[in-house]
Amino acid sequence: HQHTGHSHARHKRQLVTASQLRDSYDFVVVGAGTSGLTVADRLSEAFPAKTVLVIEYGDLEYAPGAFEPPTLWEGTDYLAGSWEFFTQPSPVMNNKTAYVMVGKTVGGSSAVNGQFLDRGSQYDYNAWEDVYGKGGQGSNIKWNWKGLHQHFKKSVKFTKPSAADAEKYGYTWDVDAAYGGNTPIYASFPPFQWGDQKIFMSAYQELGLKTQKECAGGDKEGVCWVPTTAHPVTMKRSHSGLGHYSLVEGTRSNYDLLVKHQVTRVVYPPSPKAPKKNGKYHQPPLVEVKDVSSCSRLNITVKAEVIISAGAFNTPAILQRSGIGPRSFLKSANIPLVIDSPGVGANLQDHGGSPVTWNFNVPFDSSISPLPADVSDANATYYELAKSQIDQTPAQGPYTLGMGNSAVYVSLPHAAPTTYKNFVSKLRSLASPSSASILASYLPAGEDYASNAAMLAGYQSQLLTLAELFSNPEAPSTESPFASTSHPGHGPVSFAFLLHPLSRGTVHLNESDPLGQPILDYRAGSNPLDFSQHIAHLRYLRQLGSTPTFKKYAAVETSPGADVQTDEELIEYIKNSIVLSFQHPCCTAAMMPRDKGGVVGRDLKVHGAENLGGGLRVADMSIAPLLVGSHTSATAYAIGEKAADIIIKEWSTGKN
Ligand SMILES: Cc1cc2nc3c(=O)[nH]c(=O)nc-3n(C[C@H](O)[C@H](O)[C@H](O)COP(=O)(O)OP(=O)(O)OC[C@H]3O[C@@H](n4cnc5c(N)ncnc54)[C@H](O)[C@@H]3O)c2cc1C
């Protein structure tokens, strides 16, 4: 593998078997994923005298990515290193089910994702802070854009494209605004774009969208170039398993990795015995682990902290198995209650949206080349050339592309200038105390959610914060990614997905198989205002059809299609066509105050654990209170960086 470059034999062990485990560890990180390996790398670097163990369910295989080479998704090989989830049907969406993949390998989802490395706008992260509110524990820790910017910068190393490529494709960037870090998680622009990329680019510009020079610097409303997570020379996937594990493998005698082991739960000893520190006992829980193949179990003793970084579905599952979760659900699952925390597995959000498709009736001229059809259809010569180009140094050709490098992000005031105010006022009134019973009816029924005062207060607070965001012309509410207009046999396809869904789903253990995949209920459309958003975004996207560029190619809209015009018709269309997951699940152990149904505080410590012995945090996409207006890996890396910073500060000053 191109990044490792050094022999393992010279160095001390790092990948350990169960029998090689030490008697105890200072830090245990659960899950070798995007955030988890970032945390483990930073802790083992900062504290050479403290031991760090990462426990990972999957294997150290550098999973062939779903998108590597991205245009060659053949067979099922791309599923190596992933779980596939099928959610419960969403009744409002004609019982549609979401299909969601999750990384199960060293590197987590960063090893299997689409390599599209964008960040949310500054308003997305400022919303996290607004939802939390003022004061309370850890109020010196800032999770707003200003407080996270340094972590975003540190988390990746950006490399400029060649001058020739920048000129050819029109790539733009601004290192000062967005980058400057040196971590070997690479953000690069590929030396290739499909010939028709510029068609969408010009059509969106004709709609009046501004072109942002740099979309990772806090402002991204408009047309954006987005880098790929790939090594700048080989253009092979860069992910946390390489950048935060392989590159330091064997160089740190305090950093161990145990693979093919499932963390089943964490267990607090019945009564704390460790000496009091700052008036509190500090005794982290034991970590209970199961060998995935032999099913044998072992317990790992932890001295400083357990950091759970198992991702938005498995983090709440581990907490629930540990008795940390919604009281009445745990009772029905026969799990003794340890901490009553209804937010564990609640607040599930993901990006979903419907497509708009067209047929171009005027063919492209020969300057619009090459096209995806050239590799996937009968052009054997181009296909062979493309396959050889990826192995050149530096790599060239279509297989250097991730899922694409361009997208538009549009705010509601720009997408729906005449209707957005009405939408925002409906949202505000829904969040007001007088509408509490209506709002509660949009949450899952029962005492864990709809009739739980904290959960309702948290939801109200989220909607008020989002009402501000939706009124802001610089805060995108929809994304439309575009890679190529001409997949063989089809015309152009574009999606409008909701960046800030209002419906909330759940993750629950499967009561008959608690160690198996948890049960996901997306509850898409359960807040009916989501349909108003979808409609506004689709109406906006359809306007592409009347741009000079689309007219030049005699574009005819094939879906929703000319006969779908009224709100009612669009709602039916959405129910039938929506893709419920763009693979960005989050928010299931949200960072919010406990009286808003939050699971962790700003210091990422699990609420309620301080009375049991402390030493328990969460650091991954599940801590986001609100989904951000971007694909989620860059945010997961930044969460890992910030979590590490918080933990390192505490253990350096002894204030834990
Ligand atoms: C197919 C796909 C495409 C995507 N495309 C993009 C994209 O193009 N751009 C983008 O920015 N984002 C994309 N994403 C999303 C992004 O990659 C994720 O949001 C992000 O990587 C999640 O990071 P995480 O740290 O929260 O969890 P993960 O990276 O998923 O890490 C969790 C880790 O915990 C391990 N684990 C789980 N349970 C246990 C257990 N009980 N014991 C031990 N280990 C456990 C898992 O095996 C995994 O390695 C995509 C995701 C997928 C799946």
Q: Which pLDDT tens digit goes with each residue over 630-639?
A: 999 999 999 9
Say which residues have a Cβ less than 8 Å from residue 599's Cβ, sequence separation at least 6. 319, 341, 343, 344, 589, 590, 591, 592, 606, 607, 618, 622, 623
Measured CA to CA, the distance from residue 577 to residue 93 in angstroms comes to: 9
Tell me which residue has its CA closest to atom 23 in ligand 1: 34
Instruction: Give the pLDDT score at 137.
Output: 82
Work out the average pLDDT over 225-237.
94
Instruction: Give the pLDDT score at 366.
Output: 86
Instruction: Give the pLDDT score at 6.
Output: 40
Strand partners, 424: none
Instruction: Give the pLDDT score at 586.
Output: 98
CA 105 to ligand 1 centroid distance, Å: 9
Is it the case that residue 7 has pLDDT exceeding 80? no
- Contact between 391 and 234 under an 8 Å Cβ cutoff? The reply is no
Residue in 320, 633, 639, 642 to alter for ligand 1 test, most ligand atoms within 8 A of Cβ = 633
Say which residues have a Cβ less than 8 Å from residue 432's Cβ, sequence separation at least 6. 460
Measured CA to CA, the distance from residue 92 to residue 142 in angstroms comes to: 37
Instruction: Give the pLDDT score at 118.
Output: 98
Rounded to the nearest 5°, which phi and psi values hold at 408? -115, 145
Q: Which atom of ligand 1 is nearest to the CA of 102?
A: 53
How distant, in Å, are the alpha carbons of 211, 226, 577 from that of 409? 10, 12, 21
Work out the average pLDDT over 473-490.
79
pLDDT band of 279, cuts 50, 70, 90: low
Count how many residues are written for the chain.
656
Evaluate the omega torsion of the peptide bond into residue 560 and state whether it is cis, within 30 degrees of 0: yes
Say which residues have a Cβ less than 8 Å from residue 9's Cβ, sequence separation at least 6. none
Measured CA to CA, the distance from residue 181 to residue 160 in angstroms comes to: 13
Q: What residues line ligand 1, using a CB cutoff of 6 Å?
A: 30-36, 55-58, 66, 101-104, 108-110, 112-117, 262-263, 309-312, 314, 318, 403, 583-584, 620-621, 631-634, 636
Q: Which of 278, 279, 137 is nearest to 655 (CA)?
A: 278
Tell me which residue has its CA closest to atom 46 in ligand 1: 104
Residue in 57, 60, 79, 109 to alter for ligand 1 test, most ligand atoms within 8 A of Cβ = 109
Lowest mean pLDDT among 156-170, 286-300, 430-444, 487-501: 487-501
CA 295 to ligand 1 centroid distance, Å: 24
Tell me which residue has its CA closest to atom 35 in ligand 1: 31
pLDDT band of 488, cuts 50, 70, 90: very low
pLDDT band of 8, cuts 50, 70, 90: very low
Residues 408-418 have pLDDT tens digits of 999 999 999 99
Instruction: Give the pLDDT score at 2.
Output: 37
Measured CA to CA, the distance from residue 324 to residue 319 in angstroms comes to: 5
- Contact between 25 and 257 under an 8 Å Cβ cutoff? The reply is no
Work out the average pLDDT over 649-656.
76
Instruction: Give the pLDDT score at 9.
Output: 39
Say which residues have a Cβ less than 8 Å from residue 264's Cβ, sequence separation at least 6. 288, 289, 290, 297, 318, 321, 515
Strand partners, 485: none
- Contact between 304 and 47 under an 8 Å Cβ cutoff? The reply is no
Strands 280-281 and 255-258: unpaired
Count the Cβ atoms, other than its own, within 10 Å of residue 482: 22
Instruction: Give the pLDDT score at 136.
Output: 85
Work out the average pLDDT over 348-359.
95
Q: Is the ipTM of this complex over 0.95?
A: yes
Q: Which atom of ligand 1 is nearest to the CA of 264?
A: 41
* Farthest-apart Cα atoms in the chain, separation: 78
Task: Report the SS3 class of residue 563.
Answer: coil
Please give the DSSP secondary-structure letter assigned to residue 605. B
Lowest mean pLDDT among 14-23, 256-265, 289-298, 365-374: 365-374
Please give the residue that has the higher pLDDT: either 360 or 469: 469
Q: Is the dihedral of CA 49, 50, 51, 54 positive or negative?
A: negative
Lowest mean pLDDT among 66-75, 359-368, 430-439: 66-75
CA 638 to ligand 1 centroid distance, Å: 14
How distant, in Å, are the alpha carbons of 132, 232, 376, 399, 460 from that of 387? 50, 18, 12, 7, 53
Is it the case that residue 12 has pLDDT exceeding 70? no
Lowest mean pLDDT among 137-146, 184-193, 397-406, 423-432: 397-406
Instruction: Give the pLDDT score at 74.
Output: 56
Rounded to the nearest 5°, which phi and psi values hold at 248? -110, 0
Instruction: Give the pLDDT score at 377.
Output: 61
Instruction: Give the pLDDT score at 71.
Output: 54
Measured CA to CA, the distance from residue 633 to residue 239 in angstroms comes to: 10
CA 229 to ligand 1 centroid distance, Å: 14
Is it the case that residue 492 has pLDDT exceeding 60? yes
Instruction: Give the pLDDT score at 69.
Output: 62
Work out the average pLDDT over 272-298.
83
Say which residues have a Cβ less than 8 Å from residue 209's Cβ, sequence separation at least 6. 222, 223, 408, 410, 414
Tell me which residue has its CA closest to atom 47 in ligand 1: 104
Say which residues have a Cβ less than 8 Å from residue 212's Cβ, sequence separation at least 6. 172, 219, 220, 221, 222, 223, 224
Work out the average pLDDT over 620-628.
98
Instruction: Give the pLDDT score at 10.
Output: 39
Measured CA to CA, the distance from residue 119 to residue 631 in angstroms comes to: 7
CA 81 to ligand 1 centroid distance, Å: 11
Please give the DSSP secondary-structure letter assigned to residue 79. G
Please give, one letter per residue, the 3-state secondary structure of 263-297.
EEEEECCCCCCCCEECCEECCCCEEEEEECCCCCE
Please give the residue that has the higher pLDDT: either 270 or 338: 338
Q: Which atom of ligand 1 is nearest to the CA of 262?
A: 42
Is it the case that residue 3 has pLDDT exceeding 50? no
Instruction: Give the pLDDT score at 66.
Output: 72
Average pLDDT over all residues of the chain: 92
Work out the average pLDDT over 55-59.
97
CA 240 to ligand 1 centroid distance, Å: 10
Q: Which of 599, 560, 573, 555 is nearest to 363 (CA)?
A: 555
Tell me which residue has its CA closest to atom 14 in ligand 1: 113
Work out the average pLDDT over 63-92.
78
Measured CA to CA, the distance from residue 261 to residue 296 in angstroms comes to: 10
Reported as type and span, the H/E element at residue 556 is strand 555-559
Measured CA to CA, the distance from residue 310 to residue 298 in angstroms comes to: 19
Residue in 308, 350, 583 to alter for ligand 1 test, most ligand atoms within 8 A of Cβ = 583
Percent with pLDDT over 90 in the chain: 80
Q: Which atom of ligand 1 is nearest to the CA of 33?
A: 31
Measured CA to CA, the distance from residue 423 to residue 534 in angstroms comes to: 12
Q: Is the dihedral of CA 169, 411, 531, 586 positive or negative?
A: positive
Please give, one letter per residue, the 3-state secondary structure of 129-185.
HHHHCCCCCCCCCCCCHHHHHHHHHHHCEEECCCHHHHHHHCCCCCHHHHCCCCCCC
Lowest mean pLDDT among 208-222, 283-297, 356-370: 356-370
Reported as type and span, the H/E element at residue 42 is helix 34-46
Is it the case that residue 531 has pLDDT exceeding 70? yes
How distant, in Å, are the alpha carbons of 100, 344, 443, 450, 505 from that of 524? 14, 19, 11, 16, 7
Is it the case that residue 57 has pLDDT exceeding 80? yes
Measured CA to CA, the distance from residue 534 to residue 590 in angstroms comes to: 25
